[in-house]
Amino acid sequence: MTRRAQGEGGLHWDERRERWIATVTVGYDGRGKRMVRKASGRTKTEAKTKLRELVRDRDDGLSGNGYTVRDAVEDWLGYGLGHQGSNTIDKYRHLCGKHILPLLGERKLRDLKAAEVDRWLASRAESLSTRSLRSLYGCLNRSVRRAMARDLVRRNVVELVSVPTGRRGRPSRSLTPQDVDDVLSRTASDRLHHYIVLSLLTGARTEELRALRWEHVHIDGQPDTDRPVPPHIEVWRSVREGGDTKTKKARRTLAVPARCVEALRKQWAQQSADRLAAGERWQDTGLVFTTALGSKMDAANVRRDFRRALALVPSLDPLEWTPRELRHSFVSVLSDAGVPVEQISQLVGHSGTTVTELVYRHQLRPILQTGATVMDQLFNHRDESA
């Protein structure tokens, strides 16, 4: 039998395990002890194939022979998300913990195949939306990419796979002008009423209203200056990590209608009453919309209180509507009133009209009349048969 050259590894039969064992020396530790990697096969041919893989991995500098998908994902979650906000990190942990680790976690990363990722994504598409699938794909892709950059796997098979179409989610809707009128009038007795008024009549995001501070509310404006300034609010903050708004264009100052001015005055009075009732338990956060103890409201607080308030409107089912659809309703009402999409885009804080048209396409007036109107004026049709 021909003896293998130094560095080509070894191959021997293990009587106890009844398998062929491939061994390769990959280096020496700090004490000078040889470090050996092993693989096994039921046949000599299978073991030879694994031996060649071990030698190739060693020569390529790869060190992740036993590295699993779980190892890669947990490493990425632990050390690869330093620039992300806490809410985003929680979302990624939930996605990975529910959809990646239980199904692919124990698979050795070097053995993961593109076909397996295809089947996995197809199974997730039965229960997740396309947007969630893309987030899930991104988690796995970035985890494997990180492992690849650290010489733990040769290539990233996830990048060879396309994201399938997921379950169709419920499209966002908007209230009709009559619904808006009913909501504004019938929810007046609920403590969330003032929040609802501002959301419906300014189009501010729920994350922006939850972060709105009294120092950014100017109920009286500046009516006596040379160029009078109307009552307005400064939408300069959100509950996102660091307090920044979603985009630079989202940082805006909005004039508020008279109904909002009235709502803000009443909100100040309501908060003053809450402060007296809470006594020493009151938390002075400076926020406009708070709990009864002055603490900040989270998304769950708003959803719960919104359903309670909407129960006062007989024509609407509280379980079928969400707070963000107040913003959609704002866009719809303005569009129905003939306000150009460019102005609507500025009011809702979008970076351009493309976002407004994509996100709120069902709320925008579908008939574009400007071209037809101008052409009629330029080329007035005459009936030549008359």
- The residues assigned a catalytic role are 205, 246, 327, 350, 360
Burial grade of 175 (CB within 10 A; 0-12, 13-18, 19 or more): buried
Sheet holding 19-28, edge to edge: 10-14, 19-28, 34-41
Q: How far is CA 66 from CA 34, 41, 57, in A?
A: 18, 16, 12
**CA nearest 270: which of 257, 285, 256, 289?**
289
Between strands 19-28 and 34-41, the pairing is: antiparallel
Query: Each residue of 160-173: b (16+ CB within 10 Å) or e?
Result: ebebeebeeeeeeb
d(CA 15, CA 7): 25
d(CA 109, CA 145): 11
d(CA 25, CA 41): 18
Contact 169, 129 (CB under 8 A): yes
**CA nearest 161: which of 125, 104, 119?**
119
Contact 121, 107 (CB under 8 A): no
d(CA 145, CA 76): 10
